[in-house]
Amino acid sequence: MTTVPEVLFVCTHNAGRSRMAAALLHHHAAGRVTVRSAGSTPADSINPAVVQAMAEIGLDLSHEFPEPLTDDAVRAADVVITMGCGDACPIFPGKRYLDWGLLDPAGKTLDQIRPTRDEIDRRVRALLAELPAPLHTDCLPRRIILGSTLPA
């Protein structure tokens, strides 16, 4: 069995920043991390300019939809990264929280979104370098009980 770290990206509408971050981490992690994203007040669809910005770098968000933020999603995460959701994001003890202050792409042009996408990519790569490698629990040493006899 393998235990992988779980990262949750949260922004207000789950239509821009958190979606870009989730797609980038999913791409760079290649299965080493479970990635989720959500919005405190999810929009009806992902920002079309964000979809276009991500398509430029080979990541397809055209079939994605904003997801609501749930307590269960926060509880399941090892790391919660917020992006402008403020007090709407629940805080649970024992979780690692980061707040990435980034330009909200809502109402922005593609040219204005590209620098935000690139900054998110830089931060995602740095985060990935900090996350622990997946733990293979089937390879953990077993405890030996002294004085016991094992069947031959």
Residues carrying an active site annotation: 11, 85, 89
Strands 2-3 and 34-39, bridge-based pairing: unpaired
Q: Distance (Å, rounded) from C-alpha 134 to C-alpha 123? A: 20
Q: Is 140 exposed, middle or buried (0-12, 13-18, 19+ CB in 10 A)?
A: exposed
Looking up tokens 């985060």 gives 127
Among 41, 38, 48, CA closest to 18: 38
Let me know: does 77 contact 5? Beta carbons within 8 Å. Answer: no
Chain-centroid distance, C-alpha 54: 16
